[in-house]
């Protein structure tokens, strides 16, 4: 990946709040990653789920993303993070 494309993708991930991998690392493997924040709002950890591409339909992708975001928000709250509304 070219540097400009990489920087653009990093900005997109930061804006949308999650990273998505559809076979970019390994063919047939997909994943979603979300941040876990600390009380200062900094990223302290991340959560990731990996699934076979055959089980990564758009509907399943949305379900998994919603689940990860919910659990990451919970863990972030335990670390003192208060989400802006």
Is the pLDDT at 11 greater than 70, yes or no? Answer: yes
pLDDT of residue 15 exceeding 90: yes
Is a pLDDT exceeding 70 seen at residue 12?
yes
Q: Which has the higher per-residue pLDDT, 83 or 59?
A: 59
32-54 pLDDT, tens digit per residue, is 999 999 999 999 999 999 999 99
Mean of the per-residue pLDDT values of the chain:
93
CB 32 within 8 A of CB 61: yes
Domains and CATH numbers, the chain: 17-78 (3.30.450.40)
Residue 16 clears pLDDT 80, i.e. is over it: yes
Residue 20's DSSP bridge partners are 32
């Amino acid at each position: 990946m070219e540097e400009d494309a990489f920087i653009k993708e990093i900005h997109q991930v930061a804006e949308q709040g999650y990273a998505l991998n559809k076979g970019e690392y390994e063919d047939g493997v997909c994943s979603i990653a979300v941040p876990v924040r600390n009380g200062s709002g900094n990223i302290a950890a991340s959560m990731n789920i990996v699934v076979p591409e055959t089980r990564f339909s758009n509907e399943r992708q949305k379900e998994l993303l919603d689940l990860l975001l919910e659990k990451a928000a919970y863990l972030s709250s335990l670390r003192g993070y208060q989400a802006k509304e």
